[in-house]
Structure 1
């Protein structure tokens, strides 16, 4: 059972698919795991249960930070929970595994909401017109947080352009592969925006399912001197 304050993203199938992939990795007392956009901390708890010795969770939402902290205590797990904008609080650190279930629901516009409750609620799932407002930032910033041989495990919808994520990560010198994929019904956010997505041509008329995928992007050595596009998978 996970405690969740109002406005924090409720774990859904994308969360659990990512957790299943994480469970298949070898984690040990020396493994350093970062849970970005942690929400309730479900993935942080999963990393601890998998054997990771060092788990850090980051979210911009104060409610998410509180939810993650409480869930770590309720499950008797040790998680360092910090509030901040994406990677800002951990820029000087390096991790063996980074898990990320960022907001990727297409929104009505790209406007940034003001601070306070409205901003927190929006950031739980809204991600700009194309759903890539956070994905793009993550693909640029996370490679610098990976220890040698480290891996980013990223879940997203095919509606947001999996190939764009792959290309951006490969340009940063990572080897990228799809390690899990599943067709799922629309969650509450997309179900309420189906007509908007149809009008934009992002889904077919009457479509009410999406495919979610987990990308594994692995550091294959020093990226020093690599230029965008110089990495050959």
Structure 2
């Protein structure tokens, strides 16, 4: 799929204040994957890194019982407000990924985590960069989600995870296999680089993550299922 086939759109009547991630190509690709899941009124869904709550609200519209988590206080408030605006019930919790839901398990976990490689030696603790910066290889949060997913998935449950191929899709598949999940890439889309990647183009070239003249990236959705 190419970017020309579809374009990112914020949910109708959503509030996206400064400092909260606005739904982008990755949000829409993951929403498409979510729409194919067998979701009913008894389905428990966990949205890790909910941001504006776009995915959580969509899961609730499909009938699921949804818990949305983010480490940003503003994001949690935004997700709660957008759920109310959409007339959907979403439980919103502030916390660090699965640590926010101790002892809980879910039928479906969805996540659009920070995954952009960054030249910074430390992760940001505030500001919008916290929504995309993910260490020098872009895998800080991806690897944590892969490792933590089995503990929060019910038997037969699944993880839907979106990220850029810049972060090494094969590494994600291997890590998920190592923790006992059956993982495959279900969705792909080639999209133009946004402002963040464009601003880091020279550094990404130096790291060997881009080739000269490359101005598009491939987004992937990985689906991993617990037996």
Q: TM class by shorter-chain length? A: over 0.9
Q: Which residue of 2 aligns with 1:84?
A: 95
CA contact (8 A) 1:152 1:218 kept: yes
Q: Which residue of 1 aligns with 2:205?
A: 198
Shift of 1:121: 2.3
Q: Residue by residue, what CA displacement relative to the aligned partner does 1:17-43 show, whole Å, maximum 9, x if unpaired?
A: 000110111110100000000000000
Shift of 1:187: 1.9
Q: Which residue of 1 aligns with 2:144?
A: 137
Q: Which residue of 2 aligns with 1:113?
A: 124
Q: Does 1:160 align with 2:167?
A: yes
Shift of 1:5: 1.8
- For residue 19 of structure 1, the aligned residue among 31, 44, 54 is 31
Q: Does 1:175 align with 2:182?
A: yes
Q: Which residue of 2 aligns with 1:35?
A: 47
- Give, in whole Å, the separation in 2 of the partners of 1:161 and 1:110: 20
- For residue 105 of structure 2, the aligned residue among 88, 94, 118 is 94
Q: Does 1:103 align with 2:114?
A: yes
Shift of 1:91: 2.6
- Give, in whole Å, the separation in 1 of the partners of 2:145 and 2:195: 24
Give me the TM-score of the superposition, normalised by structure 2: 0.92
Alignment gaps of 5+ in structure 1: 221-233
> What is the CA RMSD across the aligned residues, in angstroms?
1.0
Give me the TM-score of the superposition, normalised by structure 1: 0.90
Q: Which residue of 1 aligns with 2:218?
A: 211
Q: Residue by residue, what CA displacement relative to the aligned partner does 1:39-75 show, whole Å, maximum 9, x if unpaired?
A: 00000011011121x1000000111111101100000
Q: Does 1:127 align with 2:134?
A: yes
Secondary structure of 2:97's aligned partner? coil
Q: Which residue of 2 aligns with 1:229?
A: none
